[in-house]
Amino acid sequence: MVNKAQNSAKRRQSLVQLFLLLGILVVVNVVASLLYARIDLTKEKRYSLAPGTRELLKSLPDVVYIRVYLDGEFPPGFQKLRGSVKDLLAEMRLAAGGNLEYEFIDPANQPDDRSRNELYEQLFKIGLQPTDLQNRTGSGVERQVIWPGAVVVYRNKEVPANFLLGAGAGNSPLEIINASEEALEYTLANAIKKSTQLYKPKIAFTEGHGELDGRATSDIAKALNEFYSLSRYDLKSVEAVPEDIELLVIAKPTETFSQWHQFKIDNFIMRGGKVLWLIDPVIAEMDSMTPENYFMAVPRELGLDEMLFKYGVRINTDLVQDLKSSRIPIVYGSIGGQPQQKLFPWFYHPLVSGETQHPIVRNLDPIAFKFASTIDLVEAEGIQKSVLLQSSQRSRRMLSPVRVNLQLATEQSKEEQFNKAGLPMAVLLEGNFTSHFKNRYLNEFALKAIDSLGMKRVDSSKATKMVVISDGDVIRNHVRKATGEVYPLGFDRYTNQMYGNKVFLLNAIDYLLDDAGLINVRSKQITLRMLDGKKVKENRLRWQLINLALPVALLLAFGLLRNQWRKRKYAQRII
Protein backbone atom coordinates (compact mmCIF):
# COMPACT_ATOMS: atom_id res chain seq x y z
CA MET A 1 0.00 0.00 0.00
CA VAL A 2 2.84 2.35 0.85
CA ASN A 3 4.52 1.67 -2.52
CA LYS A 4 1.24 2.33 -4.34
CA ALA A 5 0.73 5.63 -2.49
CA GLN A 6 4.31 6.66 -3.22
CA ASN A 7 3.96 5.77 -6.91
CA SER A 8 0.68 7.68 -7.12
CA ALA A 9 2.25 10.74 -5.48
CA LYS A 10 5.21 10.57 -7.86
CA ARG A 11 2.85 10.26 -10.80
CA ARG A 12 0.86 13.33 -9.69
CA GLN A 13 4.09 15.24 -9.13
CA SER A 14 5.32 14.33 -12.62
CA LEU A 15 2.01 15.41 -14.16
CA VAL A 16 2.11 18.70 -12.25
CA GLN A 17 5.68 19.30 -13.45
CA LEU A 18 4.68 18.43 -17.03
CA PHE A 19 1.70 20.80 -17.04
CA LEU A 20 3.78 23.49 -15.34
CA LEU A 21 6.44 23.15 -18.03
CA LEU A 22 3.84 23.28 -20.79
CA GLY A 23 2.29 26.36 -19.18
CA ILE A 24 5.67 28.09 -19.02
CA LEU A 25 6.30 27.30 -22.70
CA VAL A 26 2.88 28.70 -23.68
CA VAL A 27 3.47 31.90 -21.68
CA VAL A 28 6.97 32.34 -23.16
CA ASN A 29 5.59 31.90 -26.69
CA VAL A 30 2.78 34.40 -26.11
CA VAL A 31 5.19 36.96 -24.66
CA ALA A 32 7.65 36.34 -27.49
CA SER A 33 4.92 36.96 -30.08
CA LEU A 34 4.06 40.29 -28.44
CA LEU A 35 7.59 41.47 -27.82
CA TYR A 36 10.36 41.72 -30.41
CA ALA A 37 14.04 41.88 -29.56
CA ARG A 38 17.29 40.54 -30.89
CA ILE A 39 21.01 40.98 -30.42
CA ASP A 40 23.02 42.01 -33.48
CA LEU A 41 26.30 40.09 -33.44
CA THR A 42 27.21 40.76 -37.10
CA LYS A 43 30.42 42.66 -37.82
CA GLU A 44 28.74 45.23 -40.09
CA LYS A 45 25.69 45.58 -37.77
CA ARG A 46 23.33 44.66 -40.58
CA TYR A 47 20.39 44.21 -38.17
CA SER A 48 20.85 47.51 -36.27
CA LEU A 49 19.08 50.72 -37.20
CA ALA A 50 21.17 53.85 -37.76
CA PRO A 51 20.76 56.73 -35.28
CA GLY A 52 19.14 58.91 -37.96
CA THR A 53 16.54 56.22 -38.66
CA ARG A 54 15.75 55.74 -34.97
CA GLU A 55 15.34 59.50 -34.50
CA LEU A 56 12.98 59.65 -37.48
CA LEU A 57 10.85 56.74 -36.22
CA LYS A 58 10.64 58.12 -32.66
CA SER A 59 9.39 61.46 -33.99
CA LEU A 60 6.52 60.07 -36.10
CA PRO A 61 3.45 62.19 -35.30
CA ASP A 62 0.91 59.54 -36.32
CA VAL A 63 0.65 55.97 -37.61
CA VAL A 64 2.52 55.22 -40.83
CA TYR A 65 1.22 52.23 -42.77
CA ILE A 66 3.42 50.28 -45.17
CA ARG A 67 2.09 47.93 -47.84
CA VAL A 68 4.82 45.58 -49.05
CA TYR A 69 4.09 43.95 -52.41
CA LEU A 70 6.90 41.42 -52.17
CA ASP A 71 4.93 38.30 -51.31
CA GLY A 72 4.21 35.02 -53.05
CA GLU A 73 6.23 32.18 -54.56
CA PHE A 74 9.62 33.55 -55.54
CA PRO A 75 13.11 32.30 -56.39
CA PRO A 76 15.47 32.01 -53.37
CA GLY A 77 17.05 35.42 -53.95
CA PHE A 78 13.74 37.28 -53.67
CA GLN A 79 12.71 35.10 -50.71
CA LYS A 80 15.90 36.25 -49.01
CA LEU A 81 15.11 39.88 -49.83
CA ARG A 82 11.57 39.44 -48.48
CA GLY A 83 12.95 38.04 -45.22
CA SER A 84 15.30 41.01 -44.87
CA VAL A 85 12.42 43.44 -45.44
CA LYS A 86 10.31 41.65 -42.83
CA ASP A 87 13.13 41.70 -40.25
CA LEU A 88 13.81 45.39 -40.90
CA LEU A 89 10.16 46.38 -40.60
CA ALA A 90 9.86 44.48 -37.32
CA GLU A 91 12.84 46.42 -36.01
CA MET A 92 11.36 49.68 -37.27
CA ARG A 93 7.98 49.00 -35.69
CA LEU A 94 9.68 48.43 -32.35
CA ALA A 95 11.60 51.72 -32.66
CA ALA A 96 8.48 53.62 -33.75
CA GLY A 97 6.66 52.75 -30.54
CA GLY A 98 3.36 51.77 -32.15
CA ASN A 99 3.33 54.40 -34.91
CA LEU A 100 4.27 52.00 -37.70
CA GLU A 101 2.24 49.14 -39.12
CA TYR A 102 2.81 47.00 -42.18
CA GLU A 103 1.42 44.11 -44.20
CA PHE A 104 2.73 41.89 -47.01
CA ILE A 105 0.56 41.59 -50.13
CA ASP A 106 0.82 39.24 -53.10
CA PRO A 107 -0.30 41.44 -56.03
CA ALA A 108 -0.66 38.40 -58.28
CA ASN A 109 -3.20 36.84 -55.93
CA GLN A 110 -6.31 38.53 -57.34
CA PRO A 111 -9.77 37.12 -58.21
CA ASP A 112 -9.26 37.52 -61.97
CA ASP A 113 -6.89 38.85 -64.61
CA ARG A 114 -8.70 42.18 -64.87
CA SER A 115 -8.32 42.90 -61.15
CA ARG A 116 -4.67 41.91 -61.26
CA ASN A 117 -3.94 44.16 -64.25
CA GLU A 118 -5.76 47.08 -62.62
CA LEU A 119 -3.65 46.65 -59.49
CA TYR A 120 -0.46 46.43 -61.57
CA GLU A 121 -1.39 49.66 -63.35
CA GLN A 122 -2.15 51.36 -60.06
CA LEU A 123 1.19 50.32 -58.56
CA PHE A 124 3.05 51.54 -61.64
CA LYS A 125 1.31 54.93 -61.48
CA ILE A 126 2.28 55.27 -57.82
CA GLY A 127 5.91 54.71 -58.80
CA LEU A 128 6.74 51.05 -58.13
CA GLN A 129 8.96 49.32 -60.70
CA PRO A 130 8.09 45.71 -61.67
CA THR A 131 10.61 42.98 -62.48
CA ASP A 132 9.95 40.24 -65.02
CA LEU A 133 11.28 36.75 -64.35
CA GLN A 134 11.41 33.88 -66.82
CA ASN A 135 10.91 30.55 -65.03
CA ARG A 136 11.49 27.27 -66.84
CA THR A 137 8.79 24.68 -66.19
CA GLY A 138 8.04 21.24 -67.58
CA SER A 139 5.69 22.75 -70.15
CA GLY A 140 8.02 25.58 -71.23
CA VAL A 141 8.90 29.07 -69.99
CA GLU A 142 6.58 30.85 -67.57
CA ARG A 143 6.65 34.63 -67.06
CA GLN A 144 6.35 35.96 -63.53
CA VAL A 145 5.92 39.64 -62.62
CA ILE A 146 7.38 40.64 -59.25
CA TRP A 147 6.94 44.00 -57.55
CA PRO A 148 9.96 44.33 -55.22
CA GLY A 149 8.80 47.41 -53.41
CA ALA A 150 6.40 48.98 -50.95
CA VAL A 151 4.01 51.91 -50.67
CA VAL A 152 4.34 54.06 -47.55
CA VAL A 153 0.99 55.58 -46.59
CA TYR A 154 0.64 58.50 -44.19
CA ARG A 155 -2.81 60.03 -43.93
CA ASN A 156 -3.69 60.79 -47.58
CA LYS A 157 -0.15 60.64 -48.95
CA GLU A 158 1.43 57.65 -50.72
CA VAL A 159 5.18 57.39 -51.37
CA PRO A 160 6.75 54.50 -53.34
CA ALA A 161 9.84 52.63 -52.11
CA ASN A 162 11.58 50.43 -54.69
CA PHE A 163 13.89 47.82 -53.18
CA LEU A 164 15.76 46.47 -56.20
CA LEU A 165 18.99 48.38 -56.93
CA GLY A 166 21.99 47.87 -59.18
CA ALA A 167 20.10 45.73 -61.70
CA GLY A 168 21.45 47.67 -64.67
CA ALA A 169 25.09 47.80 -63.62
CA GLY A 170 26.09 44.37 -64.95
CA ASN A 171 26.01 42.79 -61.51
CA SER A 172 25.23 39.16 -60.79
CA PRO A 173 21.81 38.31 -59.25
CA LEU A 174 23.50 37.68 -55.89
CA GLU A 175 25.23 41.08 -56.00
CA ILE A 176 21.96 42.79 -56.96
CA ILE A 177 20.11 41.25 -54.01
CA ASN A 178 23.00 42.14 -51.69
CA ALA A 179 23.07 45.75 -52.92
CA SER A 180 19.30 45.97 -52.45
CA GLU A 181 19.57 44.66 -48.89
CA GLU A 182 22.26 47.22 -48.11
CA ALA A 183 19.96 50.05 -49.23
CA LEU A 184 16.75 48.75 -47.61
CA GLU A 185 16.97 50.86 -44.47
CA TYR A 186 17.57 54.08 -46.41
CA THR A 187 14.91 53.23 -49.00
CA LEU A 188 12.21 52.73 -46.37
CA ALA A 189 13.38 55.47 -44.00
CA ASN A 190 13.56 58.01 -46.83
CA ALA A 191 10.05 57.10 -48.00
CA ILE A 192 8.76 57.45 -44.42
CA LYS A 193 10.47 60.83 -44.09
CA LYS A 194 9.03 62.15 -47.34
CA SER A 195 5.54 60.91 -46.53
CA THR A 196 5.49 62.63 -43.13
CA GLN A 197 7.41 65.86 -43.76
CA LEU A 198 5.36 69.03 -43.44
CA TYR A 199 7.96 71.57 -44.58
CA LYS A 200 9.23 71.45 -48.15
CA PRO A 201 12.74 72.87 -48.67
CA LYS A 202 12.83 75.37 -51.54
CA ILE A 203 14.87 74.77 -54.70
CA ALA A 204 15.36 77.25 -57.54
CA PHE A 205 16.52 76.54 -61.09
CA THR A 206 18.49 79.54 -62.33
CA GLU A 207 17.66 81.45 -65.53
CA GLY A 208 19.21 84.26 -67.53
CA HIS A 209 22.28 82.53 -68.97
CA GLY A 210 20.82 80.09 -71.48
CA GLU A 211 20.17 77.35 -68.92
CA LEU A 212 17.94 74.37 -69.72
CA ASP A 213 14.31 75.41 -69.77
CA GLY A 214 11.45 73.89 -67.82
CA ARG A 215 10.59 71.46 -70.60
CA ALA A 216 14.10 69.99 -70.69
CA THR A 217 14.10 69.50 -66.91
CA SER A 218 10.44 68.60 -66.49
CA ASP A 219 10.99 64.97 -65.45
CA ILE A 220 13.42 65.72 -62.61
CA ALA A 221 11.20 68.65 -61.61
CA LYS A 222 8.19 66.33 -61.43
CA ALA A 223 10.12 63.95 -59.16
CA LEU A 224 11.37 66.80 -56.95
CA ASN A 225 8.08 68.66 -56.77
CA GLU A 226 6.53 65.99 -54.57
CA PHE A 227 9.01 66.60 -51.76
CA TYR A 228 10.46 70.04 -52.47
CA SER A 229 9.06 73.44 -53.38
CA LEU A 230 10.37 74.38 -56.84
CA SER A 231 10.75 77.76 -58.52
CA ARG A 232 12.87 79.48 -61.15
CA TYR A 233 15.13 82.43 -60.34
CA ASP A 234 16.46 84.84 -62.95
CA LEU A 235 19.97 85.91 -62.01
CA LYS A 236 19.52 88.98 -64.21
CA SER A 237 16.73 90.25 -61.99
CA VAL A 238 17.43 93.09 -59.56
CA GLU A 239 16.66 91.11 -56.41
CA ALA A 240 19.16 88.96 -54.57
CA VAL A 241 18.57 85.24 -54.27
CA PRO A 242 15.50 84.99 -51.97
CA GLU A 243 16.26 84.15 -48.35
CA ASP A 244 13.99 81.10 -48.35
CA ILE A 245 15.84 79.41 -51.25
CA GLU A 246 18.07 76.62 -49.92
CA LEU A 247 19.45 75.16 -53.16
CA LEU A 248 20.30 76.61 -56.56
CA VAL A 249 20.39 74.31 -59.59
CA ILE A 250 22.54 75.80 -62.36
CA ALA A 251 21.68 73.51 -65.28
CA LYS A 252 23.85 73.83 -68.38
CA PRO A 253 24.32 77.60 -68.77
CA THR A 254 25.52 78.71 -72.21
CA GLU A 255 26.11 82.47 -71.67
CA THR A 256 28.82 84.32 -69.73
CA PHE A 257 28.14 85.25 -66.10
CA SER A 258 28.85 88.88 -65.30
CA GLN A 259 30.67 89.93 -62.14
CA TRP A 260 27.40 90.97 -60.53
CA HIS A 261 25.73 87.64 -61.28
CA GLN A 262 28.76 85.81 -59.92
CA PHE A 263 28.53 87.90 -56.76
CA LYS A 264 24.88 86.99 -56.25
CA ILE A 265 25.71 83.28 -56.41
CA ASP A 266 28.75 83.74 -54.17
CA ASN A 267 26.71 85.71 -51.64
CA PHE A 268 24.09 82.93 -51.63
CA ILE A 269 26.83 80.37 -50.87
CA MET A 270 28.35 82.56 -48.14
CA ARG A 271 25.05 82.56 -46.23
CA GLY A 272 24.99 78.75 -46.31
CA GLY A 273 23.19 78.08 -49.58
CA LYS A 274 23.82 74.88 -51.54
CA VAL A 275 24.50 74.69 -55.28
CA LEU A 276 24.20 71.91 -57.84
CA TRP A 277 26.47 72.90 -60.74
CA LEU A 278 25.90 71.19 -64.12
CA ILE A 279 28.43 72.82 -66.41
CA ASP A 280 29.40 72.20 -70.04
CA PRO A 281 32.80 73.90 -70.55
CA VAL A 282 32.90 72.76 -74.19
CA ILE A 283 30.37 73.47 -76.94
CA ALA A 284 29.59 69.99 -78.27
CA GLU A 285 26.15 68.93 -79.50
CA MET A 286 25.10 66.15 -81.85
CA ASP A 287 22.78 68.67 -83.54
CA SER A 288 25.92 70.47 -84.74
CA MET A 289 26.94 67.52 -86.92
CA THR A 290 27.55 68.65 -90.50
CA PRO A 291 26.54 66.68 -93.64
CA GLU A 292 30.15 65.48 -93.69
CA ASN A 293 29.51 63.85 -90.26
CA TYR A 294 31.75 66.01 -88.10
CA PHE A 295 31.80 69.22 -86.06
CA MET A 296 34.36 71.22 -84.09
CA ALA A 297 34.03 71.18 -80.30
CA VAL A 298 35.35 74.46 -78.90
CA PRO A 299 35.66 75.91 -75.37
CA ARG A 300 32.66 77.76 -73.94
CA GLU A 301 33.38 80.96 -72.04
CA LEU A 302 31.14 81.13 -68.97
CA GLY A 303 33.28 83.27 -66.67
CA LEU A 304 33.00 80.75 -63.82
CA ASP A 305 36.53 79.29 -63.93
CA GLU A 306 38.11 81.49 -61.24
CA MET A 307 35.05 81.21 -59.03
CA LEU A 308 34.99 77.40 -59.08
CA PHE A 309 38.79 77.33 -58.68
CA LYS A 310 38.38 79.31 -55.45
CA TYR A 311 35.87 76.71 -54.23
CA GLY A 312 38.26 73.81 -54.94
CA VAL A 313 37.72 72.50 -58.51
CA ARG A 314 38.69 73.24 -62.07
CA ILE A 315 36.52 72.02 -64.95
CA ASN A 316 38.80 71.45 -67.92
CA THR A 317 37.97 72.36 -71.51
CA ASP A 318 38.36 68.80 -72.78
CA LEU A 319 36.11 65.88 -73.68
CA VAL A 320 36.17 62.38 -72.18
CA GLN A 321 36.15 59.33 -74.44
CA ASP A 322 35.35 56.02 -72.75
CA LEU A 323 35.13 52.48 -74.08
CA LYS A 324 32.25 51.97 -71.66
CA SER A 325 29.68 54.09 -73.46
CA SER A 326 26.11 54.20 -74.73
CA ARG A 327 25.17 53.47 -78.33
CA ILE A 328 23.77 55.69 -81.08
CA PRO A 329 22.14 54.74 -84.42
CA ILE A 330 24.25 55.31 -87.54
CA VAL A 331 23.32 54.64 -91.16
CA TYR A 332 25.78 52.06 -92.48
CA GLY A 333 24.22 51.16 -95.84
CA SER A 334 20.98 50.65 -97.69
CA ILE A 335 18.85 47.76 -98.94
CA GLY A 336 16.43 48.37 -101.79
CA GLY A 337 16.98 52.09 -101.46
CA GLN A 338 16.08 52.07 -97.76
CA PRO A 339 18.78 53.31 -95.35
CA GLN A 340 19.88 50.71 -92.81
CA GLN A 341 20.75 51.77 -89.27
CA LYS A 342 22.80 50.00 -86.65
CA LEU A 343 23.71 50.89 -83.08
CA PHE A 344 27.38 51.69 -82.53
CA PRO A 345 29.18 52.62 -79.28
CA TRP A 346 29.74 56.39 -79.13
CA PHE A 347 32.80 57.01 -76.94
CA TYR A 348 31.82 60.64 -76.30
CA HIS A 349 28.79 59.38 -74.33
CA PRO A 350 30.39 57.63 -71.32
CA LEU A 351 28.43 55.35 -69.01
CA VAL A 352 29.72 56.19 -65.56
CA SER A 353 29.31 54.12 -62.39
CA GLY A 354 29.85 55.17 -58.81
CA GLU A 355 33.01 53.27 -57.87
CA THR A 356 33.18 54.84 -54.40
CA GLN A 357 31.22 53.96 -51.27
CA HIS A 358 29.75 57.45 -50.92
CA PRO A 359 26.02 57.29 -50.14
CA ILE A 360 25.11 59.50 -53.12
CA VAL A 361 26.37 57.01 -55.71
CA ARG A 362 26.55 53.69 -53.87
CA ASN A 363 24.97 50.77 -55.79
CA LEU A 364 23.58 52.96 -58.56
CA ASP A 365 22.91 51.90 -62.12
CA PRO A 366 25.29 53.48 -64.68
CA ILE A 367 24.75 57.21 -65.30
CA ALA A 368 24.63 58.38 -68.92
CA PHE A 369 26.89 61.35 -69.76
CA LYS A 370 27.09 63.23 -73.06
CA PHE A 371 30.23 65.13 -74.05
CA ALA A 372 31.51 65.34 -70.48
CA SER A 373 34.74 66.98 -69.35
CA THR A 374 37.25 66.18 -66.63
CA ILE A 375 37.42 67.89 -63.23
CA ASP A 376 40.65 68.65 -61.35
CA LEU A 377 40.71 68.99 -57.57
CA VAL A 378 42.67 72.05 -56.48
CA GLU A 379 43.79 73.35 -53.11
CA ALA A 380 41.04 75.08 -51.12
CA GLU A 381 41.44 75.61 -47.40
CA GLY A 382 38.76 74.04 -45.23
CA ILE A 383 37.09 72.13 -48.07
CA GLN A 384 36.60 68.36 -48.12
CA LYS A 385 36.47 66.98 -51.67
CA SER A 386 34.92 63.66 -52.70
CA VAL A 387 34.97 62.29 -56.25
CA LEU A 388 31.49 60.87 -56.89
CA LEU A 389 31.70 59.76 -60.53
CA GLN A 390 34.68 58.97 -62.73
CA SER A 391 35.44 57.31 -66.04
CA SER A 392 36.22 53.62 -66.42
CA GLN A 393 39.65 52.01 -66.58
CA ARG A 394 39.65 52.44 -70.37
CA SER A 395 39.20 56.13 -71.15
CA ARG A 396 41.06 59.17 -72.44
CA ARG A 397 40.68 62.93 -72.70
CA MET A 398 40.65 65.05 -75.86
CA LEU A 399 41.68 68.70 -75.47
CA SER A 400 39.46 71.24 -77.22
CA PRO A 401 39.21 72.51 -79.83
CA VAL A 402 38.76 68.99 -81.15
CA ARG A 403 37.19 67.61 -84.32
CA VAL A 404 34.34 65.26 -83.37
CA ASN A 405 33.94 62.81 -86.22
CA LEU A 406 31.07 60.32 -86.41
CA GLN A 407 33.43 57.92 -88.12
CA LEU A 408 34.98 57.20 -84.72
CA ALA A 409 31.93 55.10 -83.82
CA THR A 410 32.28 52.74 -86.76
CA GLU A 411 36.05 52.35 -86.73
CA GLN A 412 37.84 49.57 -84.84
CA SER A 413 39.44 51.33 -81.88
CA LYS A 414 42.66 50.24 -80.22
CA GLU A 415 42.18 49.66 -76.51
CA GLU A 416 45.74 50.71 -75.71
CA GLN A 417 44.86 54.23 -76.85
CA PHE A 418 42.37 54.49 -73.98
CA ASN A 419 45.08 54.59 -71.34
CA LYS A 420 43.54 56.88 -68.72
CA ALA A 421 41.56 55.57 -65.76
CA GLY A 422 39.28 57.20 -63.21
CA LEU A 423 38.92 60.66 -64.76
CA PRO A 424 36.69 62.65 -62.33
CA MET A 425 33.41 63.96 -63.74
CA ALA A 426 31.36 64.69 -60.60
CA VAL A 427 32.72 66.04 -57.32
CA LEU A 428 31.20 66.84 -53.92
CA LEU A 429 32.60 69.83 -52.01
CA GLU A 430 31.85 70.34 -48.30
CA GLY A 431 33.02 72.84 -45.73
CA ASN A 432 33.42 76.59 -45.18
CA PHE A 433 34.08 78.19 -48.54
CA THR A 434 36.22 81.30 -48.99
CA SER A 435 34.40 84.00 -50.94
CA HIS A 436 35.47 84.49 -54.53
CA PHE A 437 35.19 88.23 -53.83
CA LYS A 438 37.36 88.32 -50.71
CA ASN A 439 39.77 91.28 -51.03
CA ARG A 440 38.49 91.92 -54.55
CA TYR A 441 37.36 95.22 -56.02
CA LEU A 442 33.70 95.55 -56.99
CA ASN A 443 32.55 98.04 -59.59
CA GLU A 444 30.38 101.00 -58.65
CA PHE A 445 27.15 99.35 -59.85
CA ALA A 446 27.74 96.27 -57.68
CA LEU A 447 28.55 98.37 -54.61
CA LYS A 448 25.35 100.42 -55.00
CA ALA A 449 23.28 97.27 -55.58
CA ILE A 450 24.70 95.63 -52.47
CA ASP A 451 23.79 98.66 -50.36
CA SER A 452 20.28 99.02 -51.80
CA LEU A 453 19.48 95.31 -51.42
CA GLY A 454 20.91 95.05 -47.90
CA MET A 455 23.38 92.35 -48.95
CA LYS A 456 26.46 91.88 -46.78
CA ARG A 457 29.94 91.07 -48.00
CA VAL A 458 31.14 87.94 -46.20
CA ASP A 459 34.64 86.49 -46.58
CA SER A 460 33.85 82.93 -45.43
CA SER A 461 30.68 80.88 -45.69
CA LYS A 462 28.74 78.96 -43.12
CA ALA A 463 29.19 75.18 -43.36
CA THR A 464 27.61 74.21 -46.66
CA LYS A 465 27.93 71.85 -49.65
CA MET A 466 27.92 71.82 -53.43
CA VAL A 467 28.08 69.21 -56.18
CA VAL A 468 29.92 70.00 -59.41
CA ILE A 469 29.13 67.90 -62.53
CA SER A 470 31.00 68.43 -65.79
CA ASP A 471 28.01 67.72 -68.03
CA GLY A 472 24.76 69.65 -68.22
CA ASP A 473 22.93 66.91 -70.10
CA VAL A 474 22.96 64.62 -67.05
CA ILE A 475 19.81 66.42 -65.88
CA ARG A 476 18.20 66.79 -69.30
CA ASN A 477 15.25 64.64 -70.35
CA HIS A 478 14.59 64.06 -74.03
CA VAL A 479 11.51 65.70 -75.54
CA ARG A 480 10.10 64.31 -78.76
CA LYS A 481 9.78 67.24 -81.14
CA ALA A 482 6.91 65.84 -83.21
CA THR A 483 4.53 65.19 -80.30
CA GLY A 484 6.05 67.02 -77.34
CA GLU A 485 6.24 63.74 -75.41
CA VAL A 486 8.63 63.90 -72.45
CA TYR A 487 10.80 60.82 -71.95
CA PRO A 488 11.86 59.85 -68.42
CA LEU A 489 15.22 61.21 -67.34
CA GLY A 490 17.90 58.59 -68.01
CA PHE A 491 15.83 56.71 -70.59
CA ASP A 492 17.73 55.73 -73.74
CA ARG A 493 15.17 55.75 -76.54
CA TYR A 494 17.49 53.79 -78.86
CA THR A 495 18.04 50.80 -76.58
CA ASN A 496 15.08 51.20 -74.16
CA GLN A 497 17.66 51.12 -71.37
CA MET A 498 16.96 53.06 -68.16
CA TYR A 499 20.08 54.64 -66.68
CA GLY A 500 20.58 55.97 -63.15
CA ASN A 501 20.58 59.72 -63.90
CA LYS A 502 17.40 60.50 -61.99
CA VAL A 503 18.31 58.48 -58.90
CA PHE A 504 21.80 60.00 -58.87
CA LEU A 505 20.47 63.56 -59.00
CA LEU A 506 17.76 62.88 -56.41
CA ASN A 507 20.40 61.38 -54.10
CA ALA A 508 22.68 64.38 -54.65
CA ILE A 509 19.90 66.86 -53.86
CA ASP A 510 18.78 64.81 -50.85
CA TYR A 511 22.36 64.83 -49.58
CA LEU A 512 22.76 68.57 -50.08
CA LEU A 513 19.51 69.35 -48.24
CA ASP A 514 19.56 66.55 -45.66
CA ASP A 515 20.22 68.08 -42.26
CA ALA A 516 19.34 64.92 -40.35
CA GLY A 517 22.02 62.87 -42.09
CA LEU A 518 19.51 60.21 -43.12
CA ILE A 519 21.19 59.61 -46.48
CA ASN A 520 24.32 58.42 -44.68
CA VAL A 521 22.35 55.25 -44.00
CA ARG A 522 23.12 54.35 -47.64
CA SER A 523 26.77 53.85 -46.68
CA LYS A 524 25.88 50.68 -44.78
CA GLN A 525 27.79 47.79 -46.32
CA ILE A 526 26.90 44.11 -46.07
CA THR A 527 29.83 41.89 -46.95
CA LEU A 528 29.20 39.04 -49.36
CA ARG A 529 30.94 36.08 -47.74
CA MET A 530 30.99 33.84 -50.77
CA LEU A 531 32.61 30.43 -51.02
CA ASP A 532 35.83 30.05 -52.95
CA GLY A 533 34.68 28.12 -56.04
CA LYS A 534 38.15 26.71 -56.74
CA LYS A 535 38.57 25.36 -53.21
CA VAL A 536 35.05 23.95 -53.22
CA LYS A 537 35.82 22.00 -56.38
CA GLU A 538 39.20 20.74 -55.14
CA ASN A 539 37.97 19.66 -51.67
CA ARG A 540 34.49 18.55 -52.63
CA LEU A 541 35.00 14.81 -51.97
CA ARG A 542 36.72 15.38 -48.62
CA TRP A 543 33.94 17.57 -47.27
CA GLN A 544 31.26 15.19 -48.57
CA LEU A 545 32.91 12.33 -46.67
CA ILE A 546 33.24 14.46 -43.55
CA ASN A 547 29.59 15.52 -43.71
CA LEU A 548 28.40 11.95 -44.22
CA ALA A 549 30.82 9.94 -42.06
CA LEU A 550 31.49 12.27 -39.14
CA PRO A 551 27.90 12.40 -37.79
CA VAL A 552 27.62 8.58 -38.02
CA ALA A 553 31.01 8.12 -36.29
CA LEU A 554 30.01 10.51 -33.50
CA LEU A 555 26.73 8.62 -32.94
CA LEU A 556 28.53 5.25 -32.83
CA ALA A 557 31.14 6.61 -30.41
CA PHE A 558 28.41 8.05 -28.19
CA GLY A 559 26.52 4.73 -28.22
CA LEU A 560 29.63 2.71 -27.31
CA LEU A 561 30.61 5.08 -24.50
CA ARG A 562 27.08 5.08 -23.11
CA ASN A 563 26.93 1.30 -23.25
CA GLN A 564 30.25 1.02 -21.37
CA TRP A 565 29.03 3.51 -18.79
CA ARG A 566 25.79 1.56 -18.20
CA LYS A 567 27.68 -1.72 -17.82
CA ARG A 568 29.98 -0.25 -15.18
CA LYS A 569 27.14 1.46 -13.36
CA TYR A 570 24.88 -1.62 -13.03
CA ALA A 571 27.82 -3.99 -12.41
CA GLN A 572 28.68 -1.95 -9.29
CA ARG A 573 25.06 -2.16 -8.06
CA ILE A 574 24.97 -5.97 -8.39
CA ILE A 575 28.18 -6.29 -6.40
- Is this structure's pTM higher than 0.85? no
pLDDT value at position 194?
Answer: 84
pLDDT one-digit tens code per residue, 429-453: 999 999 998 888 777 777 777 777 7
pLDDT one-digit tens code per residue, 375-402: 999 998 889 999 999 999 999 999 999 9
Per-residue pLDDT at 40 exceeds 70: no
Domain boundaries, the chain: 51-196, 202-523
Q: What's the pLDDT band for 257 if we cut at 50, 70, 90?
A: very high
Q: Is 202-523 the same fold as 51-196? A: no
Kindly indicate whether the domain formed by 202-523 is annotated with CATH number 3.40.50.
Answer: yes
Classify each residue of 473-489 as buried b or exposed e, where b means 16 or more C-beta atoms within 10 Å of its C-beta: bbbbbbeeeeeeebebb
Identify the top-confidence range among 13-22, 141-150, 201-210, 326-335: 201-210
Residue scoring higher pLDDT (305 or 575): 305
Segment 519-544 shows an average pLDDT of: 63
**3 state SS of 395:** strand
Query: End-to-end distance of the chain based on CA atoms, in angstroms?
Result: 30
Contact 377, 371 (CB under 8 A): no
Per-residue pLDDT at 209 exceeds 90: yes
Segment 203-227 shows an average pLDDT of: 92
The secondary structure of 65-95, three-state, reads EEEECCCCCCCHHHHHHHHHHHHHHHHHHHH
Percent of the chain with pLDDT over 70: 86
Q: What's the pLDDT band for 20 if we cut at 50, 70, 90?
A: confident
How far are the Cα atoms of 115, 443, 472 from residue 454, in angstroms, in the given order?
A: 61, 17, 33
Segment 85-90 shows an average pLDDT of: 90
Phi/psi at 150 (nearest 5 deg)?
Answer: -145, 160
**3 state SS of 437:** coil
Per-residue pLDDT at 1 exceeds 60: no
Residue scoring higher pLDDT (12 or 299): 299
Average pLDDT, the chain: 84
Per-residue pLDDT at 524 exceeds 60: no
| Dihedral of the alpha carbons of 269, 273, 278, 281, in degrees to the nearest 10 | 0
pLDDT value at position 104?
Answer: 92
Segment 142-146 shows an average pLDDT of: 77
pLDDT one-digit tens code per residue, 45-85: 556 787 878 888 888 888 999 999 988 887 888 888 888 89
Q: β-pairing, 424-431 with 338-352? A: unpaired
pLDDT value at position 27?
Answer: 81
pLDDT value at position 410?
Answer: 82
Give the ranges where 362-475 is alpha helix by DSSP (H): 407-410, 444-453
Question: What is the CATH topology of the domain spanning 51-196?
Answer: Glutaredoxin (3.40.30)
